Chain A
Amino acid sequence: MAMREITVTIEAGNATVETNGFQGKGCEAIVKGIAAALGNAGASITHKREFNAPTLAANRLQQGK
């Protein structure tokens, strides 16, 4: 089963949560949990989804063939 990566970046007490290349209910639950914990803690949360650009590019190349 694939391992998904979650990145939390903290600067001056403010946190950004990033999920790399995955989404769905499981992802939402994780991000909401972290956001609730940190939101209640006063950290502002921005939920970014960053999709895996190299993989998308590779897919396009494969489709182009």
Chain B
Amino acid sequence: MSAYTSLETEFNDQDCLIAALADNEDRKYTDIEVHEKAVPLVGYHGDTRSQVANIIIRRNTIGSASNDIGFVKGEDGKFKAIISDYDSNRHGNKWMTAVKQSYTEKRAVKEMKRQGLVFKSRNVVNGKIVLKYLKQGV
């Protein structure tokens, strides 16, 4: 049985996190379960684990020997990632950085729309995402 490790993140916008899991430069997952009340994760033997999560990528969408990957919402509104030792090989820093990159763009766009800014352009320059927005007469 592969032990789970809990990893604190600063993600606090559920919609942006789900969108980033589905759309990033590393591993993409579109088949994601969302639970208002956290439910248990399942290990690769089909065993119910003690760890619970609100956002779950089920093991069958990850790999045949994988365990579920989850994100559980804390009292501070931030999500903790719960990833097994086995799956952390393919879902380690590289994957988390790709998710964070995508999440940050989506969260920035959401905020700029909320502020009424007008989209001008989006470019990727040497791996950096450059977003330009316009504001009338500040």
Contacts and interface: CB of A to CB of B under 8 A. Distances in A.
B128 A9 contact: yes
Interface residues of B, number: 34
B137 A2 contact: yes
**Could you tell me the dominant secondary structure of chain A's interface residues?**
mixed
Contact of B103 (A8, A13, A22): A13
Contacts, number: 105
Given A7-B131, A22-B138, A41-B103, A34 B112 contact: yes
Interface string B18-48: 0000000000000000000000000000000
A52 B118 CA distance: 20
Nearest to B103: A41
A42 B101 CA distance: 11
A6 B134 contact: yes
Nearest to B117: A6
B5 interface: no
Given A30-B115, A37-B108, A41-B104, A7 B13 contact: no
Interface of B: 9-13, 16, 97, 100-101, 103-105, 107-108, 110-112, 114-115, 117-118, 120, 127-138
Interface of A: 1-15, 22, 24, 26-27, 30, 33-34, 37-38, 40-43
